Chains A and B, each alone.
Chain A
Amino acid sequence: MGAIFEGVRIVGAGQAPYSKRSGDSVQRLLYKAASAALQDAGLTWRAVDGLAVTSFQLPPDNVAVVAEHFGIEARFLFQGVYGGASGIIGMAHAARAIRDGACDVVVCASADAFDVASHNQTLDHFNASVRDYMSPTGFGGANGMFALHTRLYMDQYGATREDFGRFCISLRENALVNPNALFKKPLSMSDYLNARPIADPLRLYDCVMPCVGGDAIVLVSEKLAKTLPGPSLKILAAEELHNYPANTVYGMPGGWEGFADRLYRNAACGPADLDFAQVYDDYPIMSFIQLEGLQLCKPGEGARFVKEKDITIRGGFPVNTGGGQLSAGQAGASGGMIGVVEGVSQLLGRAGARQIRCTRGVVSGYGMVAYGRGLSSSAAILERA
């Protein structure tokens, strides 16, 4: 099963410390996250011959300059330009490069050092369509855009604020046992419902907090993985899809529904065979759409899924076991990698106090907000080897 990435293993994951503010540059955050992931794998920088990097604040540098900065002679480089879908896309591209013999050890790392103002400044110029047709009209940034989606979803499926609240509260519960999560206090339904309004129907706890941080994983050839002391993971399948469906701004698509059948067919397993999901939770609405698109529940049933399954680490189907971006913080492009790092740590058995029993899980990404929607979606199914 899952022969697409034959001969490739994930062997480590790590993070740079998350913080609300820090003097660290993105180069330093990438270095810290990558070093932690290499240490987790039992490898040193000397072994690295490939890099996959995603960071909004990296320009004018790029991944080749990161290789130079770190002194890496690289046979494979990837730079993600798909926002929060990039982490998984970079991982898949790296896996293909290793499978095809181009390189042996790839560090996939993301990092950014955002606060609310710098996050908004980046989004205002994210691409020409946001800059020219969204930002000048007062769209409210990502909050405003996803408020529009949230209202549509609520109208179409009858979802309530409490439904989204339950998702956020569960993630907070997971975050309380994640030392690298920035939110340290439990969230009550009353806190959630009465938080200050941002872009109705969204209030404060529906919106990720821009922050500073970095996330990384290490991929190696199976041959090399066998020489390492720890366990390793297989990538059973990975998919990416962009601008799907074309020319649709509204409706509830996110792209995952366009490849889920293929993802499971390639992985030779189904949604029922998964032990967790780490979804891209920039807003609860997108998490529901991912759970639905990845066939963990039917369209419009995200709220019921969260309610019936219990998505906390003690629940029937844990989701975003580290608290996700909503409770750990969104370090820019690292938002596309934080779920991968969490999924890898869980499957390697290194998730500490929040460890769940698991052998297989799905990770998914979403990004490149453009005219009214995110353009890029990605997902992968990982399994303990």
Chain B
Amino acid sequence: MNKPQPVVNEVNAPFWNALSEQRIVLQTCGGCRKTVFYPRVCCPYCQSDSLEWGEVSGHGRVVSHTTIHRPHHPGFDDEVPYVFGAIELTEGALIYGQILDAPITDVSLLGQAVEPVFQPSGQGQTLLAFRLAETR
């Protein structure tokens, strides 16, 4: 079963294209210097349209997490249970992704350091996932 895919367009193409090259690029506002995610046409903090793409580390910390037992799409049925989290990147953006190799228990991962993993979706589009930094 195919998984749901993002729609790549003129606004977000740099983000998705970079992931396929195993790089993470996010927008930074030339006006207020804030990091912006998801990709926008203008800065949601100051409404300037001088957004610049720049590479970030993809390192961050776990803001919250859940173990998915019942996925939202049949494309994930064979992968449950898996851990999914909200990650605050060191550069300041909040981004969602699976936390690979995390324990499937009620153990709290809040605040734990994570690093990026480039996860092939099986259909061409590389997705951003994470793993606990300590597991390396």
Contact = CB atoms under 8 A, between A and B. Distances in A.
Interface of A: 120, 123-124, 128-129, 131-144, 147-149, 151-152, 155, 196-202, 246-247, 249-250, 371-372
Contact of A140 (B12, B70, B121): B70
Interface string B69-99: 1111100100101101110000000111110
Nearest to B68: A140
B59 interface: no
B98 A198 contact: no
Indicate the member of B4, B38, B84, B121 with the most A CB atoms within 10 Å.
B4
A128 B10 CA distance: 13
A142 B66 CA distance: 12
Contacts of A136: 3-6, 121, 125, 127
A250 B127 CA distance: 22
Nearest to B119: A137
Nearest to B76: A138
Contacts of A129: 38
Interface string B1-24: 001111100001000000000000
Contact of B98 (A138, A155, A199, A249): A138
Contacts of A142: 72
A139 B84 CA distance: 6
B79 A138 contact: yes
Contacts of A147: 66
A139 B106 CA distance: 18
Contact of A200 (B38, B66, B128): B66
Contacts of A135: 4, 72-73
A144 B72 contact: yes
A371 B93 CA distance: 12
B23 to A, nearest CB: 17
B72 A372 contact: no
B50 interface: no
B72 to A, nearest CB: 3
Indicate the member of B44, B67, B110 with the most A CB atoms within 10 Å.
B67
B15 to A, nearest CB: 9
Chain A residues touching B, majority SS: helix
Indicate the member of B67, B70, B76, B98 with the most A CB atoms within 10 Å.
B70
A155 B66 contact: no
Given A131-B6, A197-B67, 7 more contacts: A135-B72, A136-B6, A143-B72, A144-B68, A148-B63, A155-B110, A246-B44
A55 to B, nearest CB: 21
B63 A250 contact: yes
A112 B125 CA distance: 33
B94 A199 contact: no
Contact of B129 (A137, A139, A141): A137
A133 B94 CA distance: 11
Given A132-B7, A132-B38, A151-B110, A372 B66 contact: no
A11 B65 CA distance: 46
Contacts of A371: 38
A247 B38 contact: no
B68 to A, nearest CB: 4
B48 interface: no
B74 to A, nearest CB: 8
Nearest to B74: A117
Contacts of A201: 66, 106
A200 B72 contact: no
B66 A144 contact: yes
A65 B44 CA distance: 35
A374 to B, nearest CB: 15
Contact of B72 (A139, A151, A249): A139
B57 interface: no
B38 A199 contact: no
Indicate the member of A128, A132, A147 with the most B CB atoms within 10 Å.
A132
B112 interface: no
B110 A137 contact: no
B65 A133 contact: no
Contacts of B69: 196-200
Contacts of A148: 63-66, 84-86
A209 to B, nearest CB: 13
Contacts of A123: 72
